[in-house]
Amino acid sequence: MKKIFWAELRLLIKNSTALWLFITYLSLSLIVLVVGKQRYNHELQAYEKLEIKYNQDVKKWMEKKNNASPGYIAYYLAQPAFFTPSPWSILFPGERFEKLNLQRVRQLSVHGQIHGNPIRNLEHSLIGHLDFSLLWLYILPLMIGIITVTCIAEEKRLGRWLLLSSIASTKKIILNRMIVKFLIISCIHLCVLFIAQSTLPLPFDITFIKITSILTCYTLLWFLISAIVAFLHLNARQSILIFTIIWISFSWLIPSLHYISKMNSDAYNTGIEFLLDQRQLMNDSWDRDKKSDLAEFLNQHPKWQKTDPLGEKFDWKWYYAMQKNSDNKVKKRVEKYFSQMVNTDSLWSYLSPNLVTQSVLEDLADTSASDYQLYLQALVNWHGDNQEFWFPYFFFKKEYKSEVLEDLSPFIFHPTNKPFLKVAIYWLLMFLLTTFLLYIIVFMRGKALVNKKLNSF
Amino acid sequence: MKFFYFELLRHRRSKFQLLLVGALCVIFACSIFIHWSQQNILEESQHYWKEKNDELWLGQPDRHPHRVSHYGYVAIRPLSALSFIDSGVEPYAGNYLFLEAHKQNSSSIQSSPISPLTLRLGFPSVSNLFLLIWPLLIIFLGYGSFSHDWDTGRLMWAASMGGRLKDLFFSKFAVFMLYTIILLLVTFFISASLLWINKGFNSGLLLDLFLMMLTFGLYSAIWISIILLISYYSQSGLQSLGRLLIVWVSLLIVLPKLSIELTKWKYQTPKRAVFDSVIDKEVHSIGDAHNPDDPYFSKFKQQTLDHHKVKKVEDLPINWNGVVMAEGERITSEIFQKHYQNLSKNFDSQDEFYSRFGFITPYISFRKLILTFSCTDRKTAEEFESISENFRYDLISKLNSLHSHEINHNDDRGQKLSSAFWKEIPLLAYSIQRKAVELATLLPILLWLIFIVLVMYFFNKKKIV
């Protein structure tokens, strides 16, 4: 077994096509690392710019000492809210660049501010990003197929199959050939991960181990799929065709069906629904009876009930109460909108290991749609907490001192870790299934086919 | 012609190839129907929201014009009639734009909250089937065109029958073009029928549809040339297939994405929050309308008083508050337009730089051409934003003018105007106009067409040896 292994390794090293393929794959991985780092830095720089601007604004308001009105400050002061990227987002940016991860939030209605799209060249979104999700989950399987799926068919075409079977068990030879290739690809992955870990701010923690394990499992799965196809003993053309059909189904067809299944009419227009409702309630309130509107607000929020009655002049407490009212009115619709953002829970998605692995890696890198949903929810909660800070100035006429602006809480958000058990069970099932299929093909059908060929020869 | 019939006969014998083309016709038809029905659902819901929004706007009671300007109006971006062939940037762009005083492009909401970014190999549209999947299938049908004939010695046999390389090349080329034409005809007739159901007979749309089919045809011709060339230079069918698969991944998956990353690195786009904060800073550096001691607005006030030859704002024949609103709107709008145009120029530079990669991979230029014909390109989406912004500015200017001329400065907030005033203001009427094809897109296409001619010339001159 050892002898065959080393012989196969020597053969592979002498195969210039395979070597070039590995070198190209490694180079592309390094390019993706550089691209990812550049994107990550751009995000951090943007946040820094916004922080500087915010500090300048706070300083400006503080320079006005106690003369400034809290109502005006709350109206104008835009606090930065940043979904701090996990260093793993360098590798798996997911949906991060299609979402507003950096925002300026004022004390107006939160839902009138936080929904929208980032500035980007829309045609770039259409083409998509170059990242490790693409490289490892979509290009890698095709590479595995190109280098392994014809290993039996090619030997047969060159007339070496019978010769090989006389030297050793062909199963052992093919198995060793696959193991050598699997080990080389895994080494490239480890190399890239260690380069990434030493040159980028990636921590060597449980996430590192999880990502390495997922990647190894994923690579192994595609080797198993390739082995199943190879042991069908078809010709090279048929083997590659079957492998490519599997690849297209897992990488494009099933994800497309998953996407189409999520594009039901229920999901359309929830965004515009709550946006219109929120704006309408807020703007209509200027023409309604302000006193009764405020009374209704105080009934719903008894905490602020001990406030003075509303006078005839404009009062900030009424204004902010209406902003909050408009948010409350659309709360349920927003919850529905948030739940529709999470796009992984369809049966179709479980049929594609690419899609499942992609969502797991994006979850680990905090760049999935569900992470963004959690971020928006945290933003809404933080906005609510900040209202608690400002409302005593409007409702209880609390004395304003400019130093209090330093006490405004910054937005901090860390997504919680997602359960890993479901994924582990999925992987276990996938391995059991593929190994079972391989067993059937190699030891039963394959054996029969080889015997038949040998007899006829 | 004799070799064309031979080639056709060979293909007819292979059930697999006919099955593949047949299955693809069904997939194309399904894709067209799915996208067409989704487009109809979306159009219906947009129509509903347009009606509801207009109803809400026109149903406003008598109120202060400044309240009307904050009540806002939702501009709805219509879908392109051909978006069921290529949805282009539509799933990524906002469909609803909330327009109100002092705010530009503040809330752009998409129809669906689900991002198509999950699909790493592209949206399942007919155009992606043609641009990504069809070349892959031609690879499977044609990788052995020459290499397999080398392997089996059939090429020498053909030479002994008097066959020249050019005859073999043109016959193989013609058979693959025949498959392409079958697919194009299926797509064209189904699409034209669905267009007719939706829009009636529209010669402009039919012409665009025809141009799209022509583009797909030319794109397929390029791929057929690449496949035949690589197949000719490969020693075995397997080598040819391996090489072609690598070319497919490189030209259609890796290079377009790598080019995008290079483009973004060269021409960086600001984050929306930073973009907004820069505008805010510039606006505040000019003046703060709410600050009675603000130098800019103090000067502006004095100029207005001098112009009307009065000493106090209360003596002005127009409402000072409305004048301040109009001036504030002018300042913010001018600054926004300046930055927005810079951004637009940045995107143009990005497109220009990106289009240069079209010389390396045909996908980039052909993709762009299809987007232009289907009116689902970036420029069309941005034109909607730009027209909406102009509409917003005109609307708010009219309302500010009403504030200045119809509302008395004394007890400004307590007054209301008849709703008849804003019912007379025409609402946004936007229809999509197809953009002209850019030279930067056409040049690489021209080069790729020259490539086809060169391949043909090569096979015309080359002999079977």
Top residue of A19, A111, A126 to mutate, by most chain B CBs within 10 Å, is A126
Q: Nearest-5° angle of CA B310, CA B314, CA B316?
A: 45
d(CA B23, CA B36) in angstroms, rounded, equals: 20
Q: Shortest CA distance to A112 belongs to which of B447, B70, B76, B159?
A: B70
Tell me whether residues A128 and B257 touch, CB distance under 8 A.
yes
Tell me whether residues A275 and B257 touch, CB distance under 8 A.
no
* Smallest Cα distance from B101 to chain A, Å: 12
Of B70, B107, B277, Cβ closest to residue A50: B277
Tell me whether residues B88 and A128 touch, CB distance under 8 A.
no
Report pLDDT for A403. 87
Single-letter code of the amino acid located at A271: G
Strand runs labelled E in B79-182: 96-100, 103-109
3-class SS letters over B187-203: HHHHHHHHHHHHHCCCH
Instruction: Look up residue A440 and give its two tokens.
Output: 């059937």
> pLDDT tens digits, residue range B176-201?
999 999 999 999 999 999 999 988 87
* Smallest Cα distance from B143 to chain A, Å: 9
Of B41, B56, B413, Cβ closest to residue A280: B56
Q: How many residue pairs bridge chain A and chain B with CB atoms within 8 Å of each other?
A: 258
d(CA B246, CA A247) in angstroms, rounded, equals: 14
> Is A110 within 8 Å of A379 (Cβ atoms)?
yes
Q: Which residue of B has its CA nearest to A158?
A: B236
What is the separation of C-alpha B390 from the centre of its chain, rounded to a whole number of angstroms? 21
Top residue of A268, A279, A357 to mutate, by most chain B CBs within 10 Å, is A268
Q: Shortest CA distance to A181 belongs to which of A157, A209, A210, A150?
A: A150
* Smallest Cα distance from A109 to chain B, Å: 13
Report pLDDT for B98. 85
Report pLDDT for B265. 92
Average pLDDT of the residues in B187-216: 92
Q: How far are the Cα atoms of A109, A267, A353, B57, B152 from residue A277, in angstroms, in the given order?
A: 12, 17, 41, 13, 72
Tell me which chain A residues have a C-beta less than 8 angstroms from the C-beta of B268.
42
Share of chain B above pLDDT 90, in %: 49
- In this predicted structure, the answer to whether residue B228 has a pLDDT above a threshold of 90 is yes
Tell me whether residues B124 and A252 touch, CB distance under 8 A.
yes
* Smallest Cα distance from A334 to chain B, Å: 11
Residue B112: pLDDT band by 50, 70, 90 thresholds? low
Within a 10 A sphere around the Cβ of A234, how many other Cβ atoms? 18
Tell me whether residues B114 and A263 touch, CB distance under 8 A.
yes
Residue B292: pLDDT band by 50, 70, 90 thresholds? low
Q: Nearest-5° angle of CA A33, CA A36, CA A38?
A: 110
Per-position b or e across A143-163, b if 16+ CB within 10 A of its CB: bbbbbbbbbbbbbbbeeebee
Q: Identify the three-state secondary structure at position A79.
A: strand
Tell me whether residues B273 and A98 touch, CB distance under 8 A.
no
Tell me which chain A residues have a C-beta less than 8 angstroms from the C-beta of B49.
269, 272, 276
Tell me whether residues A128 and B120 touch, CB distance under 8 A.
yes
Of B95, B120, B378, Cβ closest to residue A133: B120
Strand B73-76 with A102-105, pairing: unpaired
* Smallest Cα distance from A162 to chain B, Å: 20
> Is B416 within 8 Å of B62 (Cβ atoms)?
yes
Below-70 pLDDT ranges, chain A: 1, 66, 264-267, 343-345, 417, 444-457
Average pLDDT of the residues in B268-297: 86
Tell me which chain A residues have a C-beta less than 8 angstroms from the C-beta of B237.
236-237
Residue B282: pLDDT band by 50, 70, 90 thresholds? very high
Tell me which chain A residues have a C-beta less than 8 angstroms from the C-beta of B260.
124, 127-130
Average pLDDT of the residues in B325-335: 91
B13-22, B238-247, B442-451 — which is least confidently predicted?
A: B13-22
Tell me which chain A residues have a C-beta less than 8 angstroms from the C-beta of B273.
46, 50, 80, 100, 102-104
| Sign of the dihedral defined by the CA atoms of residues B18, B212, B246, A348, in that order | negative
DSSP code per residue over A118-160: ----HHHHHH---SHHHIIIIIHHHHHHHHHTTHHHHHHHTT-
Of A241, A260, A341, Cβ closest to residue B140: A241
Instruction: Look up residue B226 and give its two tokens.
Output: 């690449």
Report pLDDT for B290. 67
d(CA A255, CA B46) in angstroms, rounded, equals: 27
Tell me which chain A residues have a C-beta less than 8 angstroms from the C-beta of B343.
119
Residue B108 has phi, psi (to 5 degrees) of -110, 110
Tell me which chain A residues have a C-beta less than 8 angstroms from the C-beta of B71.
279-280, 283-284
Report pLDDT for A7. 80
Q: How far are the Cα atoms of A115, B97, B339 from residue B104, in angstroms, in the given order?
A: 14, 9, 11
* Smallest Cα distance from A10 to chain B, Å: 21
Tell me which chain B residues have a C-beta less than 8 angstroms from the C-beta of A251.
120-121
> pLDDT tens digits, residue range A111-161?
988 888 899 999 999 998 899 999 999 999 999 998 898 888 878 877 877
How many Å from the N-terminal Cα to the C-terminal Cα in chain A? 28
Residue B397: pLDDT band by 50, 70, 90 thresholds? very high
Q: Which residue of A has its CA nearest to B50?
A: A272
DSSP state of B312: S
Instruction: Look up residue B276 and give its two tokens.
Output: 């907004």
Tell me whether residues B118 and A280 touch, CB distance under 8 A.
no
Enumerate the β-bridge partners of residue B75.
B97
Q: Shortest CA distance to B373 belongs to which of B129, B131, B123, B88?
A: B88
Q: Shortest CA distance to A56 belongs to which of A84, A76, A83, A85?
A: A76
Q: Which helix (H) or strand (E) holds B69?
A: helix B65-71
- In this predicted structure, the answer to whether residue B96 has a pLDDT above a threshold of 90 is no
Q: Which residue of B has its CA nearest to A345?
A: B114
Q: What ipTM goes with this model?
A: 0.89
Of B56, B119, B246, Cβ closest to residue A255: B119
Residues in chain B: 465
d(CA B78, CA B89) in angstroms, rounded, equals: 13
> Is B128 within 8 Å of B122 (Cβ atoms)?
yes
Tell me whether residues B112 and A43 touch, CB distance under 8 A.
no
Can you state the angle between helices B134-142 and B237-248, rounded to 10 degrees?
170
> Is A260 within 8 Å of B124 (Cβ atoms)?
yes
Q: Shortest CA distance to A132 belongs to which of A259, A42, A218?
A: A218
Tell me whether residues A42 and B268 touch, CB distance under 8 A.
yes
Tell me which chain A residues have a C-beta less than 8 angstroms from the C-beta of B269.
119-121
Mean pLDDT rounded to a whole number for chain B = 88
* Smallest Cα distance from A343 to chain B, Å: 6
Exposed, middle or buried: residue B88 (CB in 10 Å: 0-12, 13-18, 19+)? buried
Report pLDDT for A167. 75
Alpha helices by DSSP H, listed for A263-305, are: 270-284, 290-300
d(CA B312, CA B305) in angstroms, rounded, equals: 7
Strand A79-82 with B103-109, pairing: unpaired
Residue A252 has phi, psi (to 5 degrees) of -130, -50
Range among A368-382, B65-79, B101-115 with highest mean pLDDT value: A368-382
Q: Which residue of B has its CA nearest to A114?
A: B107
